[in-house]
Amino acid sequence: MSFYKPPGRLNQHPSYTDILTGDTHIAEVLEKLRASPQWRDMLVVVTYDENGGYWDHVPPPTGSGWGDRWGPGTRIPALLIGPHVRRGHVDSTAYDTTSILKFITQRFDLEPLPGVRARMGNLSGALR
């Protein structure tokens, strides 16, 4: 398991980056991963912090179980990429960044972490 955050101008943070440079970098990283012998066992989750300043226009869900004292936060784009992802599928399950932790916890039979939101999915709906 690895986490990667693109540095500097490649991270698509608004005001000092551009989306094309960040998207090109993501494509280059994905090509290298696809060419690796580990690809058949890989799931890549691409999430965006601020996506170049383009946030979703739909408000996040509210109410018990959807968030914590700060709420569920703004919705962020996420892409699941890999050989086990359902091709052409748009998953409408409610996810947040803790869904990634929930997936890893369940996949590797780990003890659940505190703060993972009860109503959020675990990414498995997008996998086959």
Q: What is the pLDDT, as a whole number, of residue 96?
A: 79
Q: What is the pLDDT, as a whole number, of residue 52?
A: 63
In the chain, the number of structural domains is 1
For residues 11 and 17, give the distance between their C-alpha atoms in angstroms, rounded to a whole number: 7
Other Cβ atoms less than 10 A from the Cβ of 62: the count is: 9
Give a yes or no: residue 2 inside a domain: no
Q: What is the pLDDT, as a whole number, of residue 9?
A: 87
Q: Which pTM does this prediction carry? A: 0.78
pLDDT tens for the chain, residues 1 to 128: 888 989 888 988 777 888 889 899 999 999 999 999 999 999 999 987 666 666 666 767 777 777 667 666 656 678 899 999 999 888 888 887 888 889 999 999 999 888 787 778 899 989 98
Give a yes or no: residue 121 inside a domain: yes
Give a yes or no: residue 33 inside a domain: yes
Q: What is the pLDDT, as a whole number, of residue 54?
A: 64
The domain spanning residue 81 has which CATH number?
3.40.720.10
For residues 74 and 28, give the distance between their C-alpha atoms in angstroms, rounded to a whole number: 28
Domain with 47, as residue range(s), is 8-126
